[in-house]
Amino acid sequence: MSHFAYRDGMLHAEDVPLPQIAAAHGTPCFVYSRAALLSRFEEFRQALAGRDTLLCYAVKANSNLAILNLFARAGAGFDIVSGGELARVIAAGGDPARVVFSGVGKTKDEMHQALVAGIFCFNVESSAELERLDAIAGQAGKRASIALRVNPDVDAKTHPYISTGLRSNKFGVAYAEALDLYRRARVLPNVDIAGIACHIGSQLLDPAPAAEAAEKILALADRLAADGIVLRHLDLGGGIGIRYRDETPLPVAGYLAPVLEKLAGRKEKILFEPGRALVGNAGVLLTRIEHLKHGEEKNFAIVDAAMNDLMRPALYDAWHDILPVRQAAGATAEYEVVGPVCESGDFLGHARALAVAEGDLLSVMSAGAYGMAMSSNYNTRPRAAEVMVDGNQIHLVRERERIEQLFAGERVLP
Ligand code: LLP
């Protein structure tokens, strides 16, 4: 069931008509459905029921505190990539003991911060990082739990910018080097080998590459065991795709089945790090048409949201459905849906058939993941407000930025 649907020709988020949100909080505005977020989480929980698992929500997909808090209360762990994300998790009531820390460039300060917080595991991505972590843990009088993020060299068959499991990527430790690095980790005094991790890419629809990666990770885990290195957990990353246009993603259980099949009978705890699959379809970007412009070749619907609010179309040529909030009976025309930013790449959708007028509201769908989280202040545009709907309730979960905030930290020379 979609939590964003038309009722009597008006698009709703759960029980709230979207114009009510625009009236209360303005546009552009990200709107999330609490029920959609929780039902996706529940889908994962059920797919993993009966196994020793930890579901670590990838905070980078959407780091709003209200969303983190919702998942924390539902029992989630978190996958973070910075000290900033760790601070958010803690501020939102998340349990640091359920946090895995990914990323190729962890600083000494971030390592220290995570050690003091007592996170579950560092996903280490290089030998340099391993040595640094051992040193920082020693100074802090701590032992760092680690997994090596191993690059299984499988082709995730997704957009090259979001594919991460190939040998040519900057991510992870090469498969062939992993054994040696685990042997090194074993003799480091301040490091405790806890597991192994991998993540092959994002927006994956076919589970075969994930199953292939799992198989390679298991083979490595067994090879390590033969060496006396016994892992307590296997972290299989995130990457599960969603429907943006006409994709037909499997239900979570269906996607995970071939992966879980490979894991039958294993003793290790299993971790997953989904981001997009939990939040992507649980949010929309609500925007208002400022002007209609009928050019010589094309028609433009110039809206008040732009590439700084939702970068995915400009950055990946990603498709997001764009729906009129009020269904109109009139004739449609084909529009380039664009923002006010001074870049030709500032578009939200090409050639969309819409029956619209100036002042109408549009809803850019599937904007819950990598929307607000990747937004910027380009063109000195305040970032959008964020709202979470719960039934017929509207909760403002992030105020619209004010212009003074944008340059409050800047100074002119005396
Ligand atoms: N774990 C690791 C180590 C990751 O690098 C990522 C995403 C995830 C988990 C979560 O992946 P997900 O389940 O959300 O696919 N900005 C791009 C996506 C970048 C993904 C980066 N890593 C987009 O808008 O499509």
CATH of the domain at 291: 2.40.37.10
> Tokens standing for 325?
């909030």
Q: How far is the CA of 82 from the centre of ligand 1 (A)?
A: 14
Residue 203 alpha carbon, nearest atom of ligand 1: 15
Please report, for the domain that includes residue 200, its CATH number: 3.20.20.10
Question: Would you state the pLDDT for residue 60?
Answer: 98
Residues 124 and 253 in one domain: yes
Residues 286 and 402 in one domain: yes
Residues 258 and 324 in one domain: no
Question: Would you state the pLDDT for residue 218?
Answer: 97
162 in contact with ligand 1, CB cutoff 6 A = yes
339 in contact with ligand 1, CB cutoff 6 A = no
275 in contact with ligand 1, CB cutoff 6 A = yes
Q: Domains in the chain: how many in total?
A: 2
Question: Would you state the pLDDT for residue 159?
Answer: 64
320 in contact with ligand 1, CB cutoff 6 A = no
Measure CA of the first residue to CA of the last residue in the chain; give whole Å.
60
Residues 400 and 312 in one domain: yes
| 177 Cβ contact list (under 8 Å, min separation 6) | 127
149 in contact with ligand 1, CB cutoff 6 A = no
Model pLDDT for residues 151-185, shown as the tens digit of each residue:
998 877 666 666 665 566 778 899 999 999 999 99
Q: Is residue 72 part of a domain?
A: no
Residues 203 and 287 in one domain: no
Q: How far is the CA of 326 from the centre of ligand 1 (A)?
A: 33
Residues 18 and 161 in one domain: no
Strand-strand pairing, 10-13 and 4-7: antiparallel
Residues 262 and 292 in one domain: no
Pick the last residue of a domain from 252, 272, 292.
Answer: 272
Residues 23 and 132 in one domain: no
Pick the last residue of a domain from 249, 272, 295.
Answer: 272
Residues 396 and 267 in one domain: no
| Domain housing 218 | 103-272
Q: What is the largest CA-CA distance in the chain?
A: 72
Residues 288 and 317 in one domain: yes
Q: Is residue 350 part of a domain?
A: yes
DSSP lists the bridge partners of residue 272 as: 55
The residues annotated with a catalytic role in the active site are 342
> Which of 41, 55, 60 best tests ligand 1's pocket when mutated (most atoms within 8 Å of CB)?
60
DSSP assigned state of 240: B
Residues 290 and 399 in one domain: yes
> Tokens standing for 39?
């039902």
In 217-356 the beta strands, taken as DSSP E runs, fall at 233-235, 269-272, 283-294, 299-303, 322-324, 333-338, 347-354
What are the φ and ψ backbone dihedral angles of 300, each rounded to 5 degrees?
A: -120, 130
Question: Would you state the pLDDT for residue 168?
Answer: 64
Q: Helix or strand or coil: residue 51?
A: coil
Residues 135 and 268 in one domain: yes
Pick the last residue of a domain from 237, 272, 307.
Answer: 272
Which parts of the chain have pLDDT scores under 70? 1, 157-168
Nearest CA to ligand 1 atom 8: 238
Q: How far is the CA of 205 from the centre of ligand 1 (A)?
A: 14
Q: Is residue 86 part of a domain?
A: no
Which amino acid belongs to residue 108?
Answer: K
Q: Is residue 152 part of a domain?
A: yes
